[in-house]
């Protein structure tokens, strides 16, 4: 990710309209901003997963993800699994390792991709 053509700014995440994305179970609510040029955008999201959320797909997009609240379980296609608690993060490159997330309790995340 190359971040260019992004002026200094602030974001009040509560003012960003939410969009909902159903999973196999539960729902993800995203508040999304996109920065930079069209040919190299940076997407930044505040994401909330409902309790019992399970992703409906294996994601291959790269992310830097920070768990702010709750607990996030992420499984990789190779069978490894990881649990993030508040203050923990993960990073993965585009196409590197397919991953799929779920949460029993719900989670609030900050994601850059």
SS (H, E, C) the chain: CCCCCCCCCCCCHHHCCCEEEECCECEEEEEEEEECCCCCCEEEEEEEECCCCECCCCECCCEEEEEEEECEEEEECCCCEEEECCCCEEEECCCCCCEEEECCCCEEEEEEC
> How many domains is the chain built from?
1
Residue 61 lies in a domain: yes
Residue 76: give the domain boundaries: 19-112
pLDDT digits (tens, 9 = 90+) for 78-113: 999 999 999 999 999 999 999 999 999 999 999 999
Which CATH number characterizes residue 99's domain?
A: 2.60.120.10
pLDDT digits (tens, 9 = 90+) for 17-75: 999 999 999 999 999 999 998 888 999 999 999 999 999 999 999 999 999 999 999 99
């Amino acid at each position: 990710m190359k971040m260019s053509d992004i002026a200094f700014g602030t974001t009040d995440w509560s003012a960003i309209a939410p969009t909902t994305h159903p999973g196999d179970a539960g729902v993800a609510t995203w508040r999304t901003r996109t920065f930079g040029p069209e040919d190299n955008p940076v997407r930044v999201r505040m994401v909330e997963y409902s309790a019992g959320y399970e992703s409906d797909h294996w994601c291959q997009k790269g992310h830097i993800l920070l768990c702010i609240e709750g607990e996030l379980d992420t499984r990789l296609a190779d069978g490894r699994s990881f649990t993030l608690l508040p203050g923990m993060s993960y990073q993965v490159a585009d196409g590197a390792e397919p991953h799929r997330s779920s949460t029993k309790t719900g989670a609030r995340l900050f994601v850059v991709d």
